[in-house]
Amino acid sequence: MKRPTAMIAGTGHAVPKRVLTNHDFAGLGIETSDEWIVERTGIRQRFIAGEGESLTSLSADAARQAMKAAGVTAPELDFIVLGTASPDRLLPATAVEVQAAIGATRAAALDICAACSGWVYGMQVAEGLMATSGAETVLVIGAETLSRIVNWKDRNTCVLFGDGAGATIVKRSTKGRGILSVFSRSDGTLADLLHRPAGGALRPVTPEVLAEGSNCITMAGREVFKNAVRSMAEACDRALDGAKLSATDIDLLIPHQANIRIIEATAKHANMPLEKVYVNVDRFGNTSAASIPIALDEALRSGRIKEGMTVMFVAFGAGFTWGSLVVRF
Ligand code: ACO
């Protein structure tokens, strides 16, 4: 495929109204502390979806902003690709609910389940659709309501995650702008290190499942940490190789916002000084598939990304899945 084929033409993001700070966990009966969470993760607060808020409503809000930024109307969308691990329903895909909510009357719509790599995978799918199916305008969303699938009795996981949505309009490249390289991988042999053991068709929800909380996310934190650092390092190397660039050519690194220690280790491996690394995990927590598109939208709207800059994105998540992109703006 000739690159760049696809470029980012507009972005948006949305979060729930309710903010949950580290201090608020005491009121929920969870034995933890601000100090423990900040030291291990860098997270200070996260947004939690409440009544009337859903994956669909957050995604639709983010999508409307992205369309406005790109000067695109909903009927112009050819495809909606939504990366999520927390769909509103198991069937149908949340992407079709977003399609209906925004009035994208001509669009096909599908969900991608690649956990925290959902947006990076989604961008690669969008690029492929533009190269092969004639799609001209694709909406790529990364969105999560993880607060609805975490076990609020498990302090190992419930302090880490937050809710939100980030949206990106992808259009055909002009003036050499767009995706310069992509990389993606998966390793299902390690699936049990970060998963929801039950709640799918293999082990449906039963009173027993609910009692043990096995329909919620469970995680072997230290193993996830090691694999995340190793895989994100590989993904940075491969994306740079693919674009025939070196770290000094990258103006900004936007990594998946899981944890400040993972971000710092990834930046160190990629030889990126921390001033060139976007961090908002302190304010949003780990929003999984939403984390990169939320960070991208903030970086664009605040002027941190300007026309002509080259940005590298890197993600890692349950599966395991991982991947990266280099994009010229
Ligand atoms: N508050 C207080 N204590 C806690 C908490 C908490 N919220 N959670 C766990 N603990 C305790 C445990 O019970 C354990 O106590 P014990 O030793 O008495 O059994 C102890 O803290 C564990 O401490 P450590 O092993 O030192 O914890 P660690 O330094 O590994 O940090 C963490 C844990 C933050 C989960 C780390 O492993 C991590 O960041 N892993 C990556 C996980 C991640 O980011 N997952 C997101 C999904 S994947 C992705 O997005 C990349």
Pocket of ligand 1 contains residue 160 by CB under 6 Å? yes
Instruction: Quote the pLDDT of residue 1.
Output: 83
How close is the Cα of 279 to the center of ligand 1, in Å?
20
Instruction: Quote the pLDDT of residue 41.
Output: 97
* pLDDT (mean) for 138-154: 97
Pocket of ligand 1 contains residue 116 by CB under 6 Å? yes
- Rounded to an integer, what distance in angstroms lies between the CA atom of residue 264 and that of residue 261? 5
- Rounded to an integer, what distance in angstroms lies between the CA atom of residue 259 and that of residue 59? 23
Instruction: Quote the pLDDT of residue 234.
Output: 95
Instruction: Quote the pLDDT of residue 186.
Output: 98
- Rounded to an integer, what distance in angstroms lies between the CA atom of residue 229 and that of residue 198? 27
Instruction: Quote the pLDDT of residue 11.
Output: 98
Q: Examine the pLDDT at 113 and tell me if it is beyond 90.
A: yes
Q: Whose Cα sits closest to atom 15 in ligand 1? A: 156
Which residue type does 80 have? I
Instruction: Quote the pLDDT of residue 224.
Output: 96
Cα distance between the two ends of the chain: 19
Q: What are the catalytic residues?
A: 116, 256, 286
The pTM assigned to this predicted structure is 0.96
Q: What are the tens digits of pLDDT across the range 81-91?
A: 999 999 999 99
Q: What are the tens digits of pLDDT across the range 34-69?
A: 999 999 999 999 999 999 999 999 999 999 999 999
Pocket of ligand 1 contains residue 67 by CB under 6 Å? no
Q: Examine the pLDDT at 12 and tell me if it is beyond 90.
A: yes
Q: Whose Cα sits closest to atom 2 in ligand 1? A: 32
How close is the Cα of 250 to the center of ligand 1, in Å?
32
Q: What are the tens digits of pLDDT across the range 238-288?
A: 999 999 999 999 999 999 999 999 999 999 999 999 999 999 999 999 999
Domain chopping of the chain, boundaries? 6-175, 180-328
Residues 144 and 21 sit within 8 Å (Cβ to Cβ) = no
Beta strands in the chain (DSSP E): 6-14, 18-21, 45-48, 79-83, 108-112, 137-145, 163-172, 178-186, 194-195, 218-219, 252-255, 310-317, 321-328
CB count in 10 Å sphere of residue 90: 9
Instruction: Quote the pLDDT of residue 277.
Output: 97
Q: Examine the pLDDT at 104 and tell me if it is beyond 90.
A: yes
DSSP 24-45: GGGGGT----HHHHHHHH---E
Residue that has been written with the tokens 């190269």 in this structure: 131
Q: What does the DSSP 8-state code read for residue 299?
A: H
Pocket of ligand 1 contains residue 40 by CB under 6 Å? yes
Q: Whose Cα sits closest to atom 35 in ligand 1? A: 221
Q: Exposed, middle or buried by CB within 10 Å (0-12, 13-18, 19+), for 211?
A: exposed
Pocket of ligand 1 contains residue 259 by CB under 6 Å? yes
Q: Which CATH architecture does the domain made up of 6-175 adopt?
A: 3-Layer(aba) Sandwich (3.40)
Among 225, 284, 316, which residue has the most ligand 1 atoms within 8 Å of its CB, making it the best to mutate?
225
Question: How does the average pLDDT of the chain come out, rounded?
Answer: 97
* pLDDT (mean) for 26-34: 94
Q: What are the tens digits of pLDDT across the range 209-240?
A: 999 999 999 999 999 999 999 999 999 999 99
How close is the Cα of 153 to the center of ligand 1, in Å?
14
Q: Examine the pLDDT at 143 and tell me if it is beyond 90.
A: yes
Q: Examine the pLDDT at 95 and tell me if it is beyond 90.
A: yes
CATH no. of 180-328: 3.40.47.10
* pLDDT (mean) for 67-73: 98
Distances (CA, A) of 152 to 55, 148, 235: 19, 9, 32
Residues 48 and 20 sit within 8 Å (Cβ to Cβ) = yes
Instruction: Quote the pLDDT of residue 166.
Output: 98
Which residue type does 297 have? D
Among 21, 30, 36, 40, which residue has the most ligand 1 atoms within 8 Å of its CB, making it the best to mutate?
40
